[in-house]
């Protein structure tokens, strides 16, 4: 008889984990406390979305699970080849991500999630069951050879008990699975909010078809748009229908002070993002800024990720919630599923060994990307406008193009090279950075020496000029 698993959470990572497990013959039941999002009216949007960018780690993980499935669920992605920096004076500046035309890809979270749910529906109902409106209340952990007992409260408030061989918790940064695991194992756990609030905004589709952009886009869709203003910023990612989902990020104190009056918000937006306001409609943007929910950004680190004996494991945000600034949250979650499946396969389904190996091998990579993501806020909101940063980036990408696989910029390793684990990418980048610093210093020194020599050469002429 096949083993049974409860997947808690029907979000992106939960769906992918369920697909992967079903394909390996497990009897899968997916639980989610929400209603089926495909049945919701579109007005039910939660107004807290930050558009996703799927890149190599996400795509190769989908392909590892099922190449045809990957093709189907990724049919709506919009490739983005770089950042488009919007300066205050309206000038736009393209900064290309890859060395050889690689792209990250914009996708609406809700669309991708629905496609993955559709994939689950393709399985027979004795292999995969979807149970919405089921909120996990408690896990009673039993001996590894017994059934683990999960207690859900269903829509009518009645408690329902499910016995399963094991549980895969993909229930996000406020994970109940993780809470329950903490009663069974001694878990190192930390959560930290960064001082940054986010607000969803919206750029509607252009009223006319734009030839240059091949759609009703009012900005080029093949870039991730950034309005970096040092302490705060605006970003925008294209949707298939020509609209852009835009997000404002800024310190809580700033936002709270702005929200004291409508005119403050209006003045602030118009002063700092005049071109974006022209596209959003200032009145509309002010309305959204004031009334839409204000999101908090949290980092979660923990260890271990499993309950011994192969009884429970957590993947995705439940195990490593990170801030969105490296575009790796979902990619990393999908990679979790790939790594987990590879370990299950390598251990011939011995869950005790596979779960243990997952915690042991995955931890350093998860910590590495959580830290990188925090660091990238400064890069996106501030560094991208700094000369020194851009010079270093130029040298970095020039070396990358010249030396190919011998020199890999960090962004390339994180976003385009699924074969290099996060932790290794950081180690390689640290080594390269030392060399970069030396080159940069040498360049600045050479320029100074040349300048000095030029001055020496000109000096007699200048003196003569002065005297005359």
Asked whether the beta carbons of 359 and 307 are under 8 A apart, the reply is: no
Shortest spacing between CB 410 and its own copies, in angstroms? 27
Partners of 161 in the β-ladder = 151
Taking the complex as a whole, how short is the minimal distance between the CB of residue 192 and its own copies, in angstroms?
5
Closer CB to its own copies, residue 125 or residue 190? 190
Distance between CA 207 and CA 334 in Å, rounded? 36
Alpha-carbon gap, residue 378 to 385, rounded angstroms? 11
For its own copies, which is the closer residue by CB, 299 or 337?
299
Paired tokens of 394: 């130029």
Please list, in sequence order, all residues whose beta carbon lies within 8 angstroms of the beta carbon of residue 366, skipping any fewer than 6 positions away: 301, 319, 320, 332, 422
Choose between 165 and 301: whose C-beta lies nearer to its own copies: 301
Q: What angle do CA 395, 401, 405 make, to 5 degrees?
A: 115
- Give the residues across from 160 on adjacent strands: 152
CB of 304 to its own copies, least distance (A): 11
Give me the least distance between CB of 313 and its own copies, in Å please: 19
Contact criterion met (CB below 8 Å) for 224 and 238:
no
Selection from 93, 16, 105, 102 nearest residue 413 by Cα: 102
Complex with its own copies: residue 136 or 226, whichever CB lies closer: 136
For 13, 75, 351, the CA distances from 19, given in Å and listed in that order, are: 10, 18, 18
Minimum distance between the CB of residue 187 and its own copies, rounded to whole angstroms? 7
Minimum distance from CB of 189 to its own copies (Å)?
5
CB of 191 to its own copies, least distance (A): 5
Which H, E and C letters describe 114-138, residue by residue? Answer: HHHHHHHHCCCCCCEEEECCCEEEE
CB of 172 to its own copies, least distance (A): 15
Nearer to its own copies, 44 or 195 (CB): 195
Give the contacts of 58 (CB within 8 A, at least 6 positions apart).
330, 331, 334, 335
Query: Is the Cα dihedral 118, 119, 120, 124 positive or negative?
Result: positive
Q: Which is nearer to its own copies, 5 or 297 (CB)?
A: 297
Shortest gap between Cβ of 323 and its own copies (angstroms)?
A: 13
Nearer residue to its own copies within complex by CB, 43 or 190: 190
The minimum distance between CB 299 and its own copies, in angstroms, equals: 10
Residue with smaller CB distance to its own copies, 186 or 406? 186
DSSP string, 63-105: HHH-HHHHHHHTTT-EEE-EEEEE-TTS-EEEEES-SSS--EE
**Cβ contacts of residue 169 below 8 Å, gap of 6+?**
8, 9, 175, 176, 177, 178, 181, 312, 313, 314, 315, 318
**How many H-runs (helices) and E-runs (strands) does the chain carry?**
15, 19
SS3 247: strand
The footprint of its own copies (CB under 8 A) covers 186-193, 296, 298
Cβ closest to its own copies, residue 155 vs residue 192: 192
Residue 454 CB coordination number (10 Å): 10
Least distance to its own copies, CB of residue 250, Å: 15
Question: Rounded distance, CA 350 to CA 446, Å?
Answer: 61
Compute the least distance from the CB of residue 182 to its own copies, in Å.
Answer: 8
Our CB check for its own copies shows the closer of 173 and 373 to be 173
Q: By C-beta, is 190 or 208 nearer to its own copies? A: 190
Residue 283, CB-side half-sphere exposure with 13 Å CA sphere: 0
Nearer Cβ to its own copies, position 192 or 283?
192
Alpha helices in 297-421 (DSSP H): 317-320, 329-346, 351-381, 387-403, 410-416
């Amino acid at each position: 008889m096949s083993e049974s698993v409860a997947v808690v959470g029907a979000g992106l990572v939960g769906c992918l984990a369920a697909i992967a497990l079903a394909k390996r013959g497990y009897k899968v039941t997916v639980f989610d406390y929400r209603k089926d999002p495909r049945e919701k009216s579109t007005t039910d949007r939660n107004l807290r979305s930050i558009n996703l960018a799927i890149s190599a780690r996400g795509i190769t993980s989908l392909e590892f699970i099922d190449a045809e499935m990957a093709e189907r669920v990724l049919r709506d992605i919009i490739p983005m080849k770089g950042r488009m920096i919007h300066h205050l004076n309206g000038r736009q500046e393209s900064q290309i991500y890859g060395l050889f035309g690689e792209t990250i890809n914009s996708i609406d979270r809700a669309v991708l999630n629905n496609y993955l749910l559709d994939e689950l529906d393709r399985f027979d109902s004795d292999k995969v069951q979807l149970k919405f409106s089921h909120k996990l209340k408690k896990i009673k952990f039993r001996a590894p050879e017994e059934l683990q007992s999960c207690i859900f409260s269903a829509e009518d408030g009645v408690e329902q008990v499910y016995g399963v061989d094991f549980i895969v918790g993909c229930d996000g940064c406020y994970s109940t699975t993780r809470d329950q695991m903490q009663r069974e194992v001694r878990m190192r756990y930390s959560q930290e909010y960064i001082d940054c609030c986010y607000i969803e905004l919206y750029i509607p589709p252009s009223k006319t078809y734009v030839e240059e952009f091949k759609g009703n886009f009012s900005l080029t869709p093949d870039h991730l748009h950034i309005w970096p203003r040092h302490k705060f910023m605006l970003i925008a990612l294209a949707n298939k229908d020509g609209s852009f989902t835009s997000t404002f990020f800024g310190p809580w104190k700033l936002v709270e002070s702005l929200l004291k009056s409508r005119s403050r918000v209006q003045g602030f937006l118009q002063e700092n993002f005049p071109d974006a306001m022209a596209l959003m409609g200032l009145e509309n943007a002010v309305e959204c800024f004031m009334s839409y929910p204000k999101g908090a950004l949290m980092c979660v680190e923990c260890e271990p990720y499993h309950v011994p004996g192969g009884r429970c494991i957590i993947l995705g945000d439940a195990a490593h919630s990170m801030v969105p600034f490296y575009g790796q949250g979902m990619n990393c979650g999908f990679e979790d599923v790939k790594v987990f499946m590879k370990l299950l396969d390598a251990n011939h389904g011995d869950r005790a060994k596979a779960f243990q190996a997952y915690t042991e091998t995955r931890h350093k990579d998860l910590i590495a990307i959580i830290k990188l993501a925090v660091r990238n806020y400064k890069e996106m909101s501030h560094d991208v406008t700094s000369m020194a940063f851009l010079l270093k980036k130029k040298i970095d990408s020039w070396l990358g193009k010249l030396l190919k696989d011998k020199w890999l910029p960090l962004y390339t390793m994180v976003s385009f090279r699924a074969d290099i684990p996060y932790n290794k990418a950081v180690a390689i980048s640290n080594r390269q950075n030392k060399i970069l610093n030396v080159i940069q210093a040498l360049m600045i020194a050479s320029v100074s020496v040349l300048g000095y020599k030029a001055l020496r050469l000109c000096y007699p002429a200048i003196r003569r000029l002065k005297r005359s």
